[in-house]
Amino acid sequence: MRVLPLNAIRAFATVGRLLSFSRAADELSVTPSAVSHQIRLLEDHLGVALLRRKNKHVALTPEGRIYLQEVSEGLTRMARASTTLKAARGQRILRVSVMPSLASLWLVPRIGGFAEAYPDIAIVVGATRELVDFQAGQFDVAIWHGQEPQPGYRFDPLEGNDLFPICSPKLLKGRTPLRAPADLRHHTLLESSDDLYVGGPNPGWQIWLQAAGVPHITSKRLMSFSPRHLMHRAVLEGLGVGLSRTLLVADALAKGQLVCPFGPVMSLTSSYSLVCPETIAEHEEVAVFREWLLHQARTTSERLKILPKGSK
């Protein structure tokens, strides 16, 4: 098997991105002729033309466009892996998988506190919609929602998982102010289709409206967002009223960016859990992260004031 010409692949990825031999040469600190030589070497290796050269213009062939996308992703992963390894020299590495919305709205704003408290532990956070295959070795711990405990894995539930409506404060005023659940008939109800990666019961507007005693209210228009943090953004923009959970909306409520206009606040039977293989559950980096994470969830839940004073 012929050795893969990595320098030639790097040269091609640079030319393909810039569509210029001279600019690629400047970026790579080599001569344009050296870049041209590397491209010819790669095309000979693959047996296919990747670039079209006409006068001073460069264009990707159809095969070149496909190959550029693939090798660019590979080079990005290699760069990230190298950066992580360099940054973690002398450190232990803890790799955490978390659902996108929980990562964006709750974990990331707090993770700096963990890094300051444990500077000898390097944190790698990956936001993914799929359940982690721990056997693949990509992650050490994961935060899942609604999954049943499984043999060989430790599950630690996080506190704080109520369901309630959220809206921009400006919707409490105006021509059709939100004062009671019946007022929702005048507003857009925003949905979030998280079912693909949320386990356990995942009630939406239909169940909440039944609990509120107004089951026949319908939305002015359909607007649905996934992941859920996109729905949060739409609520912040005043596009309508959404349903959210304690941990996801705690910071926005505390800052007054969003409000819960009225109840009911529904306690969910499913919850977020920190999950890891039992074989590493007591490793120091895993144990201290578990203690820190559970404390953060408990503190968030205890400090949160969901309903404004006088609401029901």
Per-residue model confidence as pLDDT tens digits over 145-182 = 888 888 899 999 998 788 999 999 999 988 899 999 99
Strand partners of residue 225: 192
Per-residue model confidence as pLDDT tens digits over 208-255 = 999 999 999 887 777 888 778 889 999 999 999 999 989 999 999 999
Give all domains of the chain, ordered by start, each with its CATH number.
Answer: 6-86 (1.10.10.10), 89-312 (3.40.190.290)
Q: What is this structure's pTM?
A: 0.68
Q: Which two tokens stand for residue 124?
A: 């790698």
Per-residue model confidence as pLDDT tens digits over 106-154 = 999 999 999 999 988 988 898 877 777 777 777 899 998 888 888 899 9
- For the range 181-187, what are the long-range contacts, defined as Cβ-Cβ under 8 Å and sequence gap of 24 or more? 181/209, 181/212, 181/213, 181/214, 181/217, 181/262, 182/214, 182/217, 184/209, 184/214, 184/217, 184/241, 185/217, 185/218, 186/220, 187/219, 187/220, 187/240, 187/241
Residues 122, 87: Cα–Cα separation, whole Å: 8
Residues 121, 283: Cα–Cα separation, whole Å: 12
Identify the band that residue 1 occupies on the pLDDT scale cut at 50, 70 and 90: very low
Cα torsion for 70, 71, 75, 81, to the nearest 10°? 50
Mean pLDDT value of segment 263-271:
87
* 280 touches 140 (CB < 8 A): yes
